[in-house]
Chain A
Amino acid sequence: EAQVTQNPRYLITVTGKKLTVTCSQNMNHEYMSWYRQDPGLGLRQIYYSMNVEVTDKGDVPEGYKVSRKEKRNFPLILESPSPNQTSLYFCASSLSRNYEQYFGPGTRLTVT
């Protein structure tokens, strides 16, 4: 089944403890992206990647890192999480920017 998977689905952590949220797609998509969704602010793009080893900032990249060493994986790294990074995070992929995006199920992160 074609899909985007994210792990973990739920995570509660403490301020400053490094964490990684994994994202994987099995559709051989070139384009992958991370978003956060907050009440009243909607979905905002954090980082995106056009292909392996090619990444760029979205609208809210501060406090996040990404890497794209393999085509199928695009992990989101929070090196020193803070409470304002408490949010619902989505990973998405598409064949290219011409094509529709497919979203993962989301990761709900709480930073205390």
Chain B
Amino acid sequence: KQEVTQIPAALSVPEGENLVLNCSFTDSAIYNLQWFRQDPGKGLTSLLLIQSSQREQTSGRLNASLDKSSGRSTLYIAASQPGDSATYLCAVRRGGSNYKLTFGKGTLLTVNP
């Protein structure tokens, strides 16, 4: 059974700092991995999708990497801003004919002005 873990559960940083969020998964037979952000009381917004054959994806100040063999992904946020404050979730889509998606429990990020 696929398990997804995100560490740390919460992170507080001053504005302008570069930071890394971690996601690990137990079964490396994945199809892709997606990073989301969730604002309080809101739905999920997709940030980046990495296919299993890719090593990284970039969008603006965000960079996500994937090391499938070690079961790890990181989300790098450059020059953090208070507007980045949210919960960040990673989700792994299992391989094969399975369409199931497994989420981590998220990292609550607070960026202080």
Point out residues on A near B: beta carbons under 8 Å: 31, 33, 35, 40-45, 48, 50, 56, 58-59, 90, 92, 97-106
Contacts and interface: CB of A to CB of B under 8 A. Distances in A.
A43 B42 contact: no
B44 A103 contact: yes
B104 A42 contact: yes
A92 B89 CA distance: 15
A100 B43 CA distance: 15
B11 interface: no
B46 to A, nearest CB: 4
| Main secondary structure on B side of the interface with A | strand
Contacts, number: 57
Contacts of A58: 100-101
Interface string B72-108: 0000000000000000010101000001111111100
Contact of B43 (A56, A90, A98): A90
Interface in B10-34: 31-32, 34
A85 B102 CA distance: 19
B100 A45 contact: yes
A33 B101 contact: yes
- 7 tightest Cβ-Cβ pairs between the two chains A and B: A42-B105, A43-B103, A103-B44, A103-B43, A100-B49, A100-B46, A105-B43
Interface residues of B, number: 22
B101 A45 contact: yes
Contacts of A106: 42-43
A106 B45 CA distance: 12
B58 interface: no
A87 B103 CA distance: 16
B56 to A, nearest CB: 16
Nearest to B94: A97
A43 B42 CA distance: 13
B43 A44 contact: no
A42 to B, nearest CB: 4
